[in-house]
Amino acid sequence: MRKLSFVLTGILILTFTLFVCGGWAASPPSPEKVAELQQAINEAHKLKEKADDARARADEEAWDEARKTFQEEYAKAKTDEEKKDAAKKFSDDVDKFLEEKLKELDWENLKKAKDEAFQKIIEAVDEAYDIDTSNVKGEPTFDQDQSEEGLCWPDGRVKLGPAAFTSPGWLASVKKHEATHADQGAQGRWRMDNVGNADQEIEAYGHQIISADTVGLSDAERAEVQKRLHYYLEAKKAALKYEMELATGTMDNEVQEEELGKIIGKIEAVQELEKKGDEEGAISKKDDAIEELDELIKGAKGETKSTLETFKEHVEELKEAEIFVIKIDTIEDLRDARDAATATRAQKDEINKIIGKIKNLIDAEKKGDEEKALEIKKDALKEINELLKDAKGEVKDNLEKAKEKLEKLIRIETKITVTGKAEGVGKAPDGSTVILVHTKECSRYTVTCTPGTTVKAGQTVTVSGHTPEPGKIKATTVTTLASPLPERKKVKANHYYQGPGEPLPGTGVYGSFVITPDTTVAVKANGATSCFFIDEEGEKKEELDKKDNYFVGILKPGIVGVVTAGIIDAIFNPQEKLPPKSPGIKIDPYYDGITNEPAIIDIENVDIGRLEDYNLSVEDTATGQIIDYGSPDLFLADGKTGLATATYFPGDVPAGAKEFVFTDPEGNILHEQMTNVYKYSLSFSPSRVTKGMPVFGDVSISGMTGEERVQVYLSFDAVLEAEIITGELISSIPGEVIFSASADEINQNPTDFTFDTSRGLGQQQVIVVVVPVE
């Protein structure tokens, strides 16, 4: 269980949701140690029972004594005022008598002994099970009043409740779950939205099942964890569907509303297909939903576009979660086969090896090593087939289940890169459209396709196990693309080169650049091994030459762009002459550290032979440290005039930075540009949110002087009602409030606004944006 007590940077999405509480273990303790720990747990529960009984007895006796006193004094009262005094005294008497009774029963010492007993068990389990708690802040503490097994805070603090102390294995498993949440917080993966909440729980419960053997979970405990895992998978789908339904009415037009409604229908179809056990059909529906969201995103703007991009990300995450759960279920099928009464010692040993392979598979895919993951899946499948030759009864039934899941994983996850042309189109036995392709590494593969566009060389495709019926139909299908290439920099704008015939972007990553017939292009290599020009059709033209850490080439007629490491770096607009140059560095004078616009700098008499010696820097005013961004990412230089444009993407500029400085190879300052970089965050209290309890919000800003004014935009579920405490209210409508204040006012006030939750909590999603008033 994760307790939400956090500060978010930038545009925040906060969900007031608690998470039920991961890590990995080396080996289980000896049976003697387990028995010793179980005995300690039993003794601790006896102490708890004794302390609880003492408290209950004290409560009852204090109440009876206070009530008796009240009745006597109330009977003596002659006026209304005296009756009120008697009633008021009753409450005070309860507290007084309770304190006396607790002392008589030695409750404080009982409570202390009980808490110490549970705390010692927590420490002993860490040592016995070798639990990795490197990201847990301090030792987890026992909390008598915690109803769940555990709570984890974003900073890594952990509390464990009595429900965690049923067996040594269960306690170790709960601690592993909590450690997973602590890892999520330490790695910046702490999720607040309802869909994200479920995603984090799926990961944590999955790790509990993975480590079930190493902590010695019983069959009943394993079944409970698996039940919770599937519960959160269903919760993730339901939350996603609910999010989409809420957003339908916020689209820009009716066409978008209708299309989003169709995508919601696909999520419903996913749920139905999975109920029938058709995971492959469900994955296909998710792929369709992703493609359709891509189409919607192209025509959307502003908040609508942002909302749709979030939905696309959530559907992709759902697909990953589904595949992860299939792997976890495969492990459980194998364990059931191993633990069947008819399993022989040899079979148990072989099955344990296969379970180890599936764990290695999860690790390999987590690291992005798809080639190794495919090899592991094939090896595991081969070994299961060998075992099936002699298997019978429950052993055979469960091995068959594991085999079916592995075969699904191979069909769903295996990917290749198309390097040849589509050779034929036909129908697979299940009715899906397929094409036949060649690759350099392999002979022939059958690729399941979604109707749409033409498959091109360079695309990564999902491989199916079907055998097509070759036809004469032209290939007009495109596969589901695999995960995109890793970004080299945020500046790359995610426009990946897909090969000839693709529609090119209207502007490049760095914008559209005017060029002359004698323009030299220099692109920073950043580890890339090749770089080439493309024409208007996206066709690859000549390669650029490698010089030091740059690719350099002369633009020729017909060339409109340049591609490095599969990413389109820039689109050029050929003209006869360059427009007049404006001096200095062109960059937004005031930005929030998240926008991070490119810095475009004009240079006279550029030294093409010393490109790497130009440098952009900024001073971190908080520390006085100078941050160097090195040489530009892209140069465009006119060979006749010596005029050049240098483009940077400076990355995460520190809050409070005031000036960019650009120097030439000799260290001379060519240009300086004043700027103001600010950042903002949001926190809430209390961390446990319930209906009727006010919620206090605190915005904080860094990088601004105290007198500078900002406007704060709050967006939230309309069921909440906001009251502004800091600054001046500008506008207020259901679900949206705008107010203005100085940076000092916002930073000095511990509460900037409050939410009234008396009407309910709603979707519990809050977005904040801070904009400076210039």
DSSP-assigned letters across all residues of 283-295: HHHHHHHHHHHHH
Do 158 and 21 contact (CB within 8 A), yes or no?
A: yes
Segments in the chain below pLDDT 50: 1-26, 416-494, 509-512, 576-580
**CB atoms near residue 314 (< 10 Å):** 22
**CB atoms near residue 354 (< 10 Å):** 24
* Residue 334 pLDDT: 92
φ, ψ dihedrals at 16, nearest 5°: -80, 80
- Strands 158-160, 141-142: pairing kind: parallel
Task: Please tell me the distance from the alpha carbon of residue 201 to that of residue 183, in angstroms, as a whole number.
Answer: 13
Q: Of the candidates 175, 131, 114, which has an alpha carbon nearest to the alpha carbon of residue 149?
A: 175
Structure token pair of residue 504: 């090119």
Structure token pair of residue 770: 């801070």
**CB atoms near residue 367 (< 10 Å):** 10
**CB atoms near residue 628 (< 10 Å):** 11
Task: Please tell me the distance from the alpha carbon of residue 418 to that of residue 259, in angstroms, as a whole number.
Answer: 31
In the numeric block, the tokens 């559209």 are attached to 512
**Amino acid making up residue 374:** L
In the numeric block, the tokens 């602590």 are attached to 182
DSSP-assigned letters across all residues of 412-447: HH-EEE--S---EEEE-TTS-EEEEEE-SS-SEEEE
The residue ranges of DSSP E strands in 479-589, in sequence order, are 512-515, 519-524, 531-535, 540-543, 545-547, 550-554, 559-564, 567-574, 585-586
pTM of the model: 0.53
* Residue 43 pLDDT: 92
In the numeric block, the tokens 């016995």 are attached to 128
Task: Please tell me the distance from the alpha carbon of residue 718 to that of residue 432, in angstroms, as a whole number.
Answer: 44
Cis peptide bond N-terminal to 686, omega within 30: yes
DSSP-assigned letters across all residues of 217-252: --HHHHHHHHHHHHHHHHHHHHHHHHHHHHHGGGSS
Structure token pair of residue 759: 């009407």
Q: Which residues of 482-513 are buried (b: 16+ CB within 10 A; e: fewer)?
A: eeeeeebeebbbebbbbeeebebeeebbbeeb
Q: Of the candidates 665, 754, 742, 750, which has an alpha carbon nearest to the alpha carbon of residue 704?
A: 742
Task: Please tell me the distance from the alpha carbon of residue 329 to that of residue 333, in angstroms, as a whole number.
Answer: 6
Helices and strands (DSSP H and E) totals, the chain:
14, 38
φ, ψ dihedrals at 323, nearest 5°: -65, -40
- 3-class state of residue 317 by DSSP: helix
Task: Please tell me the distance from the alpha carbon of residue 344 to that of residue 336, in angstroms, as a whole number.
Answer: 13
* Residue 331 pLDDT: 92
Task: Please tell me the distance from the alpha carbon of residue 418 to that of residue 522, in angstroms, as a whole number.
Answer: 30
CA 356 to chain centre: 27
* Residue 596 pLDDT: 54
